[in-house]
A and B are shown apart, each in its own frame.
Chain A
Amino acid sequence: MSSAQLEIQLIASLVAIACAIPGTFLVLRKMAMISDAISHSILPGIVIGFFITQDLNSPLLIVLAALTGVITVVLVEQIQKTGLVKEDTAIGLVFPALFSIGVIMIAKNANDVHLDVDAVLLGELAFAPFDRLLISGIDVGPKSLWIIGTILLITVGLLFAFFKELKLSTFDAGLAASLGFSPVAIHYGLMTVSSITTVGAFDAVGAILVVALMIAPAASAYLLTTDLKKMLFLSILFGVFSAISGYWVAHWLDASIAGSITTMLGLLFLVVYLFAPSKGLIAVMYREKQQKIEVSLLTFLLHLKNHNEENERHVNHLREHINWQKIRAKTVVDLALKNNMITIDNQIVSLTEKGDDFTSQAIDYIITNEDAQIEDMKDDFFLFRG
């Protein structure tokens, strides 16, 4: 591995981490689309900054772009506040307007600046190692590495300082306000960090893909954990994994690095979406199937409880009485037998004491909806897991 390759992977990984942190909070605040809006509408900020400094890595450019990002959020909120349109419409109105201003500014001055729409949309990570930062003539590494490194350091610092405030205002803005933690200040703080991170990542992965780096790792992590700290950690892990594996996929396929990273993010989400232990598609389908069987079991037990007549409890007549198909009836009878809830004596099915208790408790729960009654049953049966 050459040092340029190493540098590219390092930059991509730092970008992924810097995006995953604000991304986690954006996902939890249901503001994923805001990151899309910011990533596009900071373009005029970047272009103006570039015109002034003639340098894509100038700090002024980052400041101006971040400012445009915050302006985007303010505009979206103001339009939404009129009550005439909903938030998604407001976002759809604001960012294309700002983005197109940026595109026109680039086009008007395309002859004398080295900034083109392709680079803005997709970034050019492969060229990042060529732009070196020189301090009194000594090469200290690629400029983008220093920029994203600085942004990441600030983001991590803010996260550690304000983790409690971010969590509270994301979960319950009303309580945050009543306790004196201004949710508005925290909101704009998060928006500023998101904007700055977007500008930092922009150079590496471009406007479209930065959204994927913010949202996909967080969305995947959300399906896997019920702990905010773990969610942050997993988002970062997924981001870095996609950055490095994406780089090598691009290397082997001789394709765009940014495109490969995003493809890896998409694949990662797909895998998590299918196989996540409790929220994944397969787990949900399995649970629903179990619930169906357990409802059947309960129906069957209730039938036994309600009928003392032997003809109602004869194993061969059960099917007609409950109106089930053969396979389903067999599954249910087997399940009941396995759990010692029924006995079959001479073809006559009877409830055991356990089966009788279980039925009363379950019916009681369904009628009263009081959780205390079924706490000890929750581990055995899907039906009661809410």
Chain B
Amino acid sequence: MSNKIAVQVDDLTVAYNYKPVLWDIDLEIPEGVLMAIVGPNGAGKSTLIKSILGILKPIAGSVSIYGKSYDKQRSLVAYVPQKGSVDWDFPTTALDVVMMGTYGSLGWIKRPGQKQKKAALEALEQVGMLPFKNRQISQLSGGQQQRIFLARALVQDASIYFMDEPFQGVDATTEIAIINILKALRKANKTVIVVHHDLQTVPEYFDWVTFLNVKKIATGPVKDIFNDDNLTKTYGINYKVSIHK
């Protein structure tokens, strides 16, 4: 971890139909951390990621990636959406999905070629999915589909990785395989931000954590702030009562 700030979020407010789902979020994510975003259902975890990536338009606030707007820094960022957000019956193969990760560097109109294919095959190898490269994606198990998504992000060779619940619906072996890859990314001084559900594994998997429930509760090193106090503030009954008023 260095002193550089990879992602900075200032006064971010996001609303669906005028109902705020994220309220005045300030967040600094240092370069080289492996960070979990935790919070109850409806806390705005996915919304936060999507707003940083420009997929959702915030009603207030700003986001910067290494000091510049996301539009200028796209090539530094890779994104793994929730597995359930796409139709796995789509007529395409594992290799083709991974190739999609290269589209950003190609820009409009230009087609992927041998170079992109080679990069995609390497990424498949990295997640242990090379033998399945020509398989139709609906014929893959949940864990294999998640690995394909991870490979698609790896092929982007980014500096910052955003992942929306990469452990959802995967078997134990895949979970370990994924976390090992994420730890390797951190070792290479990449910044990895993960929406995470399983509180028990936070201290084992991550070194940085953000507690979120519409507002930001706390952010910092796991060893300093992952405690009962913050957990109660995020998930506790009192807090829920106060936001529904």
| Contacts from A to B (Cβ < 8 Å) | 28, 30, 83, 161-165, 167-168, 170-172, 174-175, 177-181, 222, 225-228, 230-231, 368-372, 375, 385-386
Please name the 9 residue pairs, one residue from A and one from B, whose CB atoms are nearest each other, closest first: A179-B104, A226-B136, A178-B53, A178-B79, A177-B55, A174-B81, A371-B141, A172-B86, A171-B90
Give, as a whole number of angstroms, the nearest-CB distance from A225 to chain B: 6
Q: Interface on chain A toward B: helix, strand, loop, or mixed SS? A: helix
Assess the A175–B171 pair: CB atoms within 8 A: no
Report yes or no: A172 in contact with B91, Cβ–Cβ below 8 A. Answer: no
CB distance from B117 to the nearest CB of A (A): 13
What's the minimum C-beta distance from B106 to chain A, rounded to whole angstroms? Answer: 7
**Chain A residues within 8 Å of B172, by CB:** 368, 370
Residues of A within 8 A of B203 (CB): none
Q: Which residues of the other chain, A, contact B50 by a CB distance below 8 angstroms?
A: 174
**Contacting residue for B103 out of A28, A164, A231, CB 8 A:** A164
A165 and B100 form a contact (CB under 8 A): no
A226 near B104 with CB under 8 A, answer: no
- Known contacts A174-B55, A174-B85, A371-B144; is-contact A181 B103 (Cβ 8 Å): yes
Interface residues of B in 58-76 (CB under 8 A from A): 71, 74
Residues of A contacting B143 with CB < 8 Å?
Answer: 370-371
State how many angstroms separate the Cβ of A90 from the closest Cβ of chain B: 16
For the complex formed, measure the closest distance between the CB of B18 and the CB atoms of chain A, giving whole angstroms: 11
Using known A-B contacts A165-B108, A172-B81, A386-B141, determine if residue A83 contacts B17 with beta carbons closer than 8 Å: yes
What are 20 inter-chain pairs, A to B, with CB distance below 8 A? A28-B87, A28-B91, A83-B17, A164-B103, A164-B109, A165-B109, A167-B92, A168-B100, A170-B90, A172-B81, A175-B152, A177-B54, A178-B77, A179-B104, A222-B91, A225-B91, A226-B136, A368-B171, A370-B143, A371-B144
With a cutoff of 8 Å between Cβ atoms, the chain B residues found around residue A368 in the complex are 171-172
A residues near B85, Cβ cutoff 8 Å: 172, 174
Given contacts A83-B17, A175-B79, contact A161 B91 (CB under 8 A): no
Contact B53 A171 (CB under 8 A): no
How far does the Cβ of A181 sit from chain B's closest Cβ, in whole Å? 7
Residue of A nearest to B82 (CB): A174
Q: Which residues of B contact A83 (CB under 8 A)?
A: 17
A273 to chain B, nearest CB (A): 16
- Chain A residues with Cβ below 8 Å from B106 are 164
| A230 nearest in chain B by CB position | B91
Q: Is B139 part of the contact surface with A, judged by Cβ < 8 Å? A: yes
CA distance A46 to B243 in the complex (A): 53
Q: In the bound complex, do residue A228 and residue B17 qualify as a contact, i.e. CB atoms below 8 Å apart?
A: no
A82: nearest residue on chain B (CB-CB)? B17
Closest B residue, CB atoms, query A162: B109
A89 to B136 CA separation, bound complex (whole angstroms): 34
Q: A83-B17, A369-B141, A386-B141 are in contact. Are A226 and B171 (CB under 8 A)?
A: no
- Give complex CA distance A369, B53 in Å: 34
CB distance from B99 to the nearest CB of A (A): 9
B58: min CB distance to chain A, Å: 14
* CB-CB nearest in chain A for B136: A226
A174 to B52, CA, bound (A): 12
Least CB separation from A378: chain B residue: B139
Closest chain A CB from B54 CB (angstroms): 7
CB-contact partner of A179 in B17, B90, B103, B144, under 8 A: B103
Closest chain A CB from B139 CB (angstroms): 6
| A181–B108 CB distance below 8 A | yes
The smallest C-beta distance from B44 to any residue of chain A, in angstroms, reads 16
A226 engages B92 (CB within 8 Å) = yes
Nearest CB in chain B: distance from A267 CB, A: 23
Complex interface: chain A residues within 8 A of B17 (CB): 83
Query: How far, in angstroms, from A228 to B89 measured CA to CA in the complex?
Result: 11
Q: How far is the CA of A83 from the CA of B92 in the complex (A)?
A: 33
Q: For the complex, is B97 an interface residue (Cβ under 8 Å from A)? A: yes
- Residues of chain A lying within 8 A (CB to CB) of residue B54: 177-178
Q: How far is the CB of B141 from chain A (nearest CB, A)?
A: 5
